[in-house]
Amino acid sequence: MSDTATRLRGKDLLGIAGLTAEEITLILDTAEAMKEVSARPIKKVPALRGKTVINLFYEPSTRTRTSFEVAEKRLSADTLSIAIASSSVVKGETLIDTALNLEAMNPDIVVMRHASSGACHLLARTCQAGIVNAGDGMHEHPTQALLDAFTIRERKGRLKGLKVAITGDLLHSRVFRSNAYLLTTMGAEVWACGPPTLMPAGIARLGVRPTTRVEEAVEGADAVMMLRIQLERMQGGFFPSLREYFQVFGMTPARVRLAKPDAIIMHPGPMNRGVEIESEVADGPASVILDQVANGVAVRMAVLYLLAGGSDDETAA
Amino acid sequence: MRLLLRGARVVDPASGVDGARDILVEGGRIADVGVSIAPGEAAATAVVELGPSLVVCPGLVDMHVHLREPGHEHKETVITGAAAAVAGGFTAVACMPNTSPVNDSASVTRFILKQAAEANLARVYPIGAVSKGSEGKELAEMADMRLAGCVAFSDDGRPVATALLMRRALEYAGMLGVPVIDHCEDRTLVGEGVMHEGLHASQLGLRGIPSAAEEVAVHRDIVLAGLTGGHAHIAHLSAAGSLGAVRAAKARGIRVTCEVTPHHFTLTDERLLAPLMYDTNLKMNPPLREASDRDALLEGIRDGTVDAIVTDHAPHHADDKSVEFDRAAFGIVGLETAVSLGLDRLVHSGLIGLGRFVELYSAGPARLLGVAGGRLGVGDPADITILAPDLPVTVSAAAFRSKSRNTPFDAWTLRGGVAATIVGGKPLYVNPDVVQVGGLGRA
Amino acid sequence: MPILMDGERVGRTLTRIAHEIVERNRGVGDLALIGVRTRGVPIARRLAAILREITGVDVPTGALDITLYRDDLMKSAVGPQPIVRRTEIPFSIDGRHIVLVDDVLYTGRTIRAALDALIDFGRPSTIQLVVLVDRGHRELPIKADYVGKNVPTSRREVVSVRLAEVDGADEIVLGQVEGAGA
């Protein structure tokens, strides 16, 4: 492969794992052009005119779904969003049946969020349409990692050689997995910090440096990324109390001061203020949390644009 | 009606035989085994010239299958399961009690045996539940079920729930002279796990089942077997630590035995990443483990720690598998791939000889269950499997006799297969791809 | 390959066009230059430099990427998407006289896309078009206001504009489409 990619190899974006550094760079570069579109008086281009994009959300998600919808509309795609409560899935039709029904409407792209890891792979095997993973269980959330990388690159000018600290519930986090793959592929040094009860097995073999000492993770970091502690998942006793979690792992101004003076503070949202992050940090000058939201639209426009053109794989299929 | 099988290599470790022999079958039993047997009155004897490329061995016994009847007949029935068994080279299977209703009473046992008699294919030995409804609370009527025909007891699908229940089950089954087969897992450690806990589960974002979940339960059962003197048999052992524990316990004289499945000695959890990510036909319990576990199982198969190869044949309808990975049913079918996997991965790899193969697939399980079979002595029932050890086999799930197709081995090409299966002197399966057994088809 | 313009000729042509722009617009007040990516951008910048020399005024200059407006964008089911580059128009185009700059005018489809894109940025007073080469074969009713050189071509030919900023040297050559007969 040459140094610069001009396309993505697959019809789908199911995860960051499997993308080359060149493909990631292509998405980020395209997102830069897309970001400018959002700054125009008329924030719309005709690139995906006549294309149909279906947003299929099996998990409630205001943030990601809205971001995709805005991205699709700015590219002039015809879009519709279907929210399916997980409770109705139990008695309702199977994912494959839903996929076949959607397929009959001949969409070009299906964006899916689902509580089961690998659900997008199942969909991709069933559908001709390109599948964009908007978060599958504990597996991956590729567009979140791309927008995080875009935000870091925008502020730091590069990814290679940066120290990025990620703290929180690493075990259940798809954001962690996608970021770990992306940042290490791009040559950043990723420190992963959290309680040992919330670390995935074999974490060091994912290419990150695990630690339970938040100070060690944050020290000298260029970017500090918090992950949401999913309160509803913590009933299983992964740690004794939220109070103690904040005491040991919470991002306080004192801890942030261990990072580089120009370090940025990131959070994929929604935040639990006072649990994983203190408000003073979340709202402080180093926080780029709202930039992440704005960049999410640009990155998703880039992904949709690059996938909508089809791929070489289709000729082989 | 007499049947004379001539010129094949007979491998019968229980009788100490490994060499070219002829076998004469009469009245459903072995009438003679000799270097050269004359057909006698030619008209009354069907003579089949097998030749030295085929192996005649005692009928294979799978001591761990799920036939789904009663209750889940859309997945499998006793008839289809028994048909799959003979097509896979098995002359006998022992079926687990997790049907609906659970086989926790003599009436269910008798029903299964009635279905098996109607099928008139492989022999079917029911395994009764340890506890009523396999709920882990009260002992089921084990003696009554033993009289009705159960050959062992198990709450398979679930572990024997508590140490106390296991203790009493071992004591009570010891009185009956049969083993307690335990599906070893600590359910608190399993949690909502769906695959082996390790790097690959972390990559796939799937909840893990640590090897320790099995090991903790295996250690419990070993301690209780030591306490009670009962026979604990570890079902589908999958982890290196469990195997080490069984090996050490055996060395101390504790009555513990174990079985391993072909999928655990063939596949590892890495396979969930590629070629087909999240393939639900790779979801089973216990899960596929790491290469180091697989290697430990192979060593246990070689050194004698493992007592039996079993399929844990677990038929599921496509609807139960064509779903998200964490919602898919656990288990795969195995009856029609076990012999080829064993010959290819254990024998042709040089790990074990055919004698040990027959020990693991026939003599071992027959002895553990205390059932007839496992050897070809004069007067024994004529349960015979004829193997074609060098036959190239391409697995075709679509051609399975089983009602279900949930196998990860579809389209695999393996070396070695079944030539014919003879139960009680009757050839019930003849492989059309093996010309030498053509005579059996006409017998 | 025949050279249509050498470096010196390119320079003289741009100077002439700059004078024409000043004359036609009676100065450069309310004027802005927007180059169409890729080679329209350096040409627009050169025109801006010449206009500054002539008038002493800095004419605002922008860059327009028309990829997202192309009419052939989603026509092929396979193959890579064209790479999208940044559009940079750091000024309001409302009420201004916009001079759109491109290297070669051919079918007119690029300029159609550029016009659509520009309209999304605001409502200019006028839009005028500068091209270095007009090679004919228009498929849309589009005409340049300032032309460096009219070159009759066949469809099998290619006009390659090379610029120092992009290609190391200024030169415009006429070539054959690869695979086309002699």
pLDDT score for C72: 80
How close, in Å, is residue B324 to chain A by CA atoms? 5
Q: Of these residues, B307, B312, B344, B380, which one is catalytic?
A: B312
pLDDT score for A60: 87
pLDDT score for B418: 98
B74, pLDDT greater than 80: yes
Q: Which domains does chain C have, with CATH numbers?
A: 7-154 (3.40.50.2020)
How close, in Å, is residue A94 to chain B by CA atoms? 7
Percent over 70 (pLDDT), chain B: 99
How close, in Å, is residue A34 to chain C by CA atoms? 8
Q: What is the mean pLDDT of residues C82-111?
A: 94
pLDDT score for B39: 82
B51, pLDDT greater than 60: yes
Residues of chain A predicted below pLDDT 50: 1-2, 310-317
Which one-letter amino acid corresponds to residue A79? T
User: Each residue of C140-160: pLDDT tens digit?
Assistant: 999 999 999 999 999 999 999
- Tokens 């949930």 correspond to what residue? B406
DSSP state of B330: P
pLDDT score for B233: 98
Give how far Cα A287 sits from Cα of A151, A155, A164, A194, B204, Å: 11, 11, 14, 21, 31
Q: Please indicate if any CB of chain A lies within 8 Å of the CB of B201.
A: yes
Q: What is the mean pLDDT of residues B154-173?
A: 97
Using alpha carbons, select from B138, B230, B227, B144 the residue that is nearest to residue B182: B230
Q: How many CB pairs under 8 A join A and C?
A: 71
Per the prediction, chain B carries an average pLDDT of: 96
**Catalytic residue check, B293:** no
C182, pLDDT greater than 70: no
B136, pLDDT greater than 90: yes
Interface of A to C at Cβ within 8 Å reads 6-7, 26, 29-30, 32-34, 36-37, 40-42, 44-51, 75, 302, 305-306, 308-312, 314-315
B41, pLDDT greater than 90: no
Among A86-100, B4-18, B162-176, C117-131, the minimum mean pLDDT is found in A86-100
pLDDT score for C73: 77
Quote helix, strand, coil % in chain B, to nearest 5.
35, 25, 40
Q: Which of A114, A118, A203 has its CB closest to that of B204?
A: A118
A37 and C68 within 8 Å at the Cβ level: the answer is: yes
User: Each residue of B85-118: pLDDT tens digit?
Assistant: 999 999 999 999 999 999 999 999 999 999 999 9
pLDDT score for A270: 87
Helix H or strand E segment including A34? helix A21-37
pTM recorded for the entire structure: 0.92
Separation of alpha carbons B146 and B305, rounded Å = 28
- In degrees, rounded to 5, the angle at the alpha carbon of residue B194 between the alpha carbons of residues A112 and B266 is 115
What are the counts of helices (DSSP H) followed by strands (DSSP E) for chain B?
A: 15, 18
User: Each residue of A32-77: pLDDT tens digit?
Assistant: 999 999 988 899 999 999 999 999 999 988 899 999 999 999 999 9
pLDDT score for A237: 85
User: Secondary structure of chain C in the HEC alphabet?
Assistant: CCEEEEHHHHHHHHHHHHHHHHHHHCCCCCEEEEEECCCHHHHHHHHHHHHHHHHCCCCCEEEECCHHHCCCCCCCCCCCCCCCCCCECCCCCCCCEEEEEEEEECCCHHHHHHHHHHHCCCCCCEEEEEEEEECCCCCCCCCCCEEEEECCCCCCEEEEEECHHHHCCCEEEEEECCCCCC
pLDDT score for A91: 60
Looking at beta carbons, which residues of chain C come within 8 Å of A22?
none
Beta-carbon count within 10 A of B379 CB: 7
